[in-house]
Structure 1
Amino acid sequence: MTLTNLITGFLGSGKTTSILHLLATKPANEKWAVLVNEFGEVGIDGALLADSGALLKEIPGGCMCCVNGLPMQVGLNTLLRQGKPDRLLIEPTGLGHPKQILDILTAPVYEPWIDLRATLCVLDPRQLLDEKIVSNDNFRDQLAAADVIVANKQDKATAESQQAFAQWWQTYGGERLRVEATQGNIDGGLLNLPRRNLAPLPESAAHAHGHPSNRGLAALSLPGHQRWRRSVNRGQGYVACGWIFDADTQFDTIGLLEWARLAPVSRVKGVMRIAEGLVRINRQGMDLHIETQNVAPPDSRIELINDGDTDWNMLQAALLKLRVS
């Protein structure tokens, strides 16, 4: 049987960073797999996890629980039967609802395959100060479904966010385990904890996502000799606009970072080719984290997410001007 954990968290909470840390500390004799789902279609998390040493399956462009859970079941079956991992980490989109996923994982058909352990919810406590986030059904249900709440980004915490989290915990903490983390640095031993939160979850509110290309389990790619392309996905009041560029396209480093810093959106995530190799960009609100590496990525991918439309054409024109080759 495969030890399995669901790792949830709203947009920008630090799920992927937490998973990268867990993968870096996994036992050397174990085979791990990740089933990752993104709201947008470009597949940024897949690119970030590509060199982690884990088996990887992506479900882009909406919730893995949509369409009666078929995309999730296809990806799950592929990993379990072909990969036969010792442990499986499932990362739903930050706009995903956990109930349908947990229902699938606990279905009788998966009993011989899956040993479901604790569900972790990664939380940036500052999100509790944002009324739009707090009123989001998925945000509330992700916390409600968790066995472990990871209060992440402690290095960014404020007195107000700490107080908001303390008040939330006093009201809703219950039997859950509470841990604090910085940059997703969490103890891998949390994954072995049993499920302790078995209370029934509410049904999710009706939600719809665009599935414009209906590619199933494949993230956006470039056909033929196309140099770049754009994809837009929307749902639940959020819009994701992403671009992918071929391996021969290189970007001006300083200009690219300024573009990412100043873009009038709430979320920026990307893996881009620059003269130095690659740069990983991760921005939530005004928090910008970058990391460079002296290797060339197979392509460049960047995605912006916002709670509503913005001038995507203006942002695209500025991004295209930053190409240096």
Structure 2
Amino acid sequence: MTKTNLITGFLGSGKTTTILHLLAQKNPTEKWAVLVNEFGEVGIDGALLADSGALLKEIPGGCMCCVNGLPMQVGLNTLLRQGRPDRLLIEPTGLGHPRQILDLLTAPVYEPWIDLRATLCVLDPRQLLDERAVTNENFRDQLAAADIILANKGDRASEESERALQAWWQHYGGERQLVHAERGQIDARLLDRPRHNLVTLPASAAHPHGQGEKKGLAALSLPAHQRWRRSLNSGQGYQACGWIFDAGTVFDTIGLLEWARLAPVGRVKGVMRIAEGLVRINRQGEDLHIETQSVAPPDSRIELISSDEADWNALQSSLLKLRLTEIL
């Protein structure tokens, strides 16, 4: 049986960073797998996890619970039966509802395959101060379903967010465990805690996506000889726009970072080729985190998510102007 953990959390809470830290702690004799789902279609998380040493399956373009869970079932079956991992980490989109996923993981058909352990919910406590987040049913139910609440981004906390966390915990914490962390750095032994929170969640409301009929099991890719491509998705009051560029396109470093910092959206995430190699961009609200390394990725991918109307054409035009002379 495969030890399995569901790792939830709202947009920008730090799920992927947490998973990267967990993968770094795995026993080298074990085989781990990650089933990752994103709201957009360009597969940023897959690119971030590509060099982690784990088996990886992506479900882009919506949420795992849609279309009767078929994309998730196909991805899950592929990992379990072909990969046969010792541990499986499942990362749903920040806009995903946990009930259908947990129902599937505990279904009789998966009893011989899955040993479901603790569900972790990654929380940026500042989200408790955001009315749009606390009134979102997925945000509430992700927290309600968790066995362990990971209060992440402690380095970004304020007195106000700490008071909000303590007030929330006194009211909703119950017998669960609260773990404080910075940048997703937690002890991997938490994954072996048993699942004990058997709260019955309501079903999620229907939430069609703009390109819901296109959902598949692979992130967006480029056809031969196409230099770049854009993809749009929408649902649940959010919009996503992502771009993928071929390996021959590099970007001006300073201009790209300014573009990401100033884009009038709530979420920016990307893995981009620059003259120095690679830059990883992660912005939630006004928090911008960047990381560079010398080994460049096979292509560039960046995605923006907004809760308001955004002028994607204008953002695209300014992004395209940041391309440097293409590599020959």
d(CA) in 2 for partners of 1:32 and 1:271? Answer: 23
Corresponding residue for 1:278?
278
Identity of aligned residues (%): 80
DSSP-derived class of the 1:5 partner: strand
Corresponding residue for 1:296?
296
DSSP-derived class of the 1:183 partner: coil
State the 1:205 CA deviation: 2.1
| Deviation readout 1:82-109 (Å, 9 max, x if unpaired) | 0000000000000000000000000000
Aligned residue runs from structure 1 range 68-107, under 5 A: 68-107=68-107
DSSP-derived class of the 1:240 partner: strand
| Deviation readout 1:116-156 (Å, 9 max, x if unpaired) | 00000000000000001100000000000000000000000
Q: Do structure 1's residue 129 and structure 2's residue 145 form an aligned pair?
A: no
Corresponding residue for 1:239?
239
Do the aligned residues in 2 keep the contact of 1:95 with 1:138 (CA within 8 Å)? yes
State the 1:268 CA deviation: 0.2
Q: TM-score, normalised by structure 1?
A: 0.99
In structure 2, stretches of 5+ residues that fail to align are: none
Corresponding residue for 2:318?
318
State the 1:60 CA deviation: 0.2
DSSP-derived class of the 1:81 partner: helix
DSSP-derived class of the 1:75 partner: helix
DSSP-derived class of the 1:102 partner: helix
Corresponding residue for 2:183?
183
Do the aligned residues in 2 keep the contact of 1:61 with 1:210 (CA within 8 Å)? no
d(CA) in 2 for partners of 1:137 and 1:212? Answer: 20
DSSP-derived class of the 1:292 partner: strand
2:71 is aligned with what amino acid?
P
In structure 1, stretches of 5+ residues that fail to align are: none
Do the aligned residues in 2 keep the contact of 1:4 with 1:117 (CA within 8 Å)? yes
d(CA) in 2 for partners of 1:157 and 1:102? Answer: 30
2:31 is aligned with what amino acid?
K
d(CA) in 2 for partners of 1:244 and 1:22? Answer: 28
Q: Do structure 1's residue 266 and structure 2's residue 286 form an aligned pair?
A: no
Corresponding residue for 1:117?
117
DSSP-derived class of the 2:272 partner: strand
State the 1:175 CA deviation: 1.2
| Deviation readout 1:32-57 (Å, 9 max, x if unpaired) | 00000000001000000000000000
State the 1:196 CA deviation: 1.4
State the 1:228 CA deviation: 0.3
State the 1:218 CA deviation: 1.0
Do the aligned residues in 2 keep the contact of 1:57 with 1:79 (CA within 8 Å)? yes
Q: Do structure 1's residue 31 and structure 2's residue 41 form an aligned pair?
A: no
Do the aligned residues in 2 keep the contact of 1:261 with 1:288 (CA within 8 Å)? yes
Moved over 4 A (4+): none
Do the aligned residues in 1 keep the contact of 2:128 with 2:161 (CA within 8 Å)? yes
d(CA) in 2 for partners of 1:203 and 1:72? Answer: 17
| Count of equivalent residues | 325
DSSP-derived class of the 2:100 partner: helix
Corresponding residue for 1:66?
66
Do the aligned residues in 2 keep the contact of 1:62 with 1:210 (CA within 8 Å)? no
State the 1:212 CA deviation: 5.5
Do the aligned residues in 2 keep the contact of 1:30 with 1:86 (CA within 8 Å)? yes
Q: Do structure 1's residue 139 and structure 2's residue 139 form an aligned pair?
A: yes
1:127 is aligned with what amino acid?
Q
State the 1:204 CA deviation: 1.3
Do the aligned residues in 1 keep the contact of 2:71 with 2:215 (CA within 8 Å)? no
1:133 is aligned with what amino acid?
A
d(CA) in 2 for partners of 1:120 and 1:290? Answer: 25
2:173 is aligned with what amino acid?
G
1:24 is aligned with what amino acid?
A
DSSP-derived class of the 1:281 partner: strand
1:178 is aligned with what amino acid?
L
State the 1:160 CA deviation: 0.4
Corresponding residue for 1:208?
208
